[in-house]
Amino acid sequence: MKISARNQLEGKIIRIQKGAVNTEVCLEIGNEKITAIITNSSCQNLALQEGANAVAIIKASSVLIGLGEFKISARNQFSGTIESIQRGTVNAEVRIKVGTQTITSIITLNALSDLNLKEDDEVKVIVKASNILIGIR
């Protein structure tokens, strides 16, 4: 299967915590940990188990970029360095190196300007757990 989501991060499931409706799935990807919230039925249909490999899938438009230190409720926050910026008419594609992975974000040109982002800047990558899909190969 091929999908359009740019961010497909492969890792190992290190924790599965089932709730009444949703399941929290934590993957270790390189030196980072990423948490996704999926439905219990999705977890069951995929037969997810701790120690198994899985893929965290994140649309580029769901990846937020921040600067400096701040408090935010999203639990997936990673430090990275901007590798490249491709400007379009309305939006920009920002590629950020996080450990051994590259994460792509799509932000508006206004946001790019407001944050004064440029290549080699240190940034925070933020992704809500509910914006992450889990897949298996």
Which one-letter DSSP state was computed for residue 111?
A: H
Domain span at 91: 7-135
Position 2 in a domain? no
Share of the chain above pLDDT 70, in %: 99
Number of domains in the chain: 1
Query: Position of tokens 């040109």?
Result: 109
Position 46 in a domain? yes
With a CB cutoff of 8 Å and minimum separation 6, the contacts of 128 are: 62, 74, 76
Position 1 in a domain? no
Position 123 in a domain? yes
Name the 3-class secondary structure at 61. Answer: helix
Query: Position of tokens 């400007």?
Result: 87
Return d(Cα 53, Cα 46) in angstroms, integer: 11
CATH, residue 113: 2.40.50.100
Return d(Cα 64, Cα 43) in angstroms, integer: 26
**Minimal CA–CA distance to 29: which of 87, 100, 125, 107?**
100
pLDDT band at 114 (very low <50, low <70, confident <90, very high): very high
Position 70 in a domain? yes
User: Over the stretch 7-38, which tens digit does the pLDDT of each residue have?
Assistant: 999 999 999 999 999 999 999 999 999 999 99
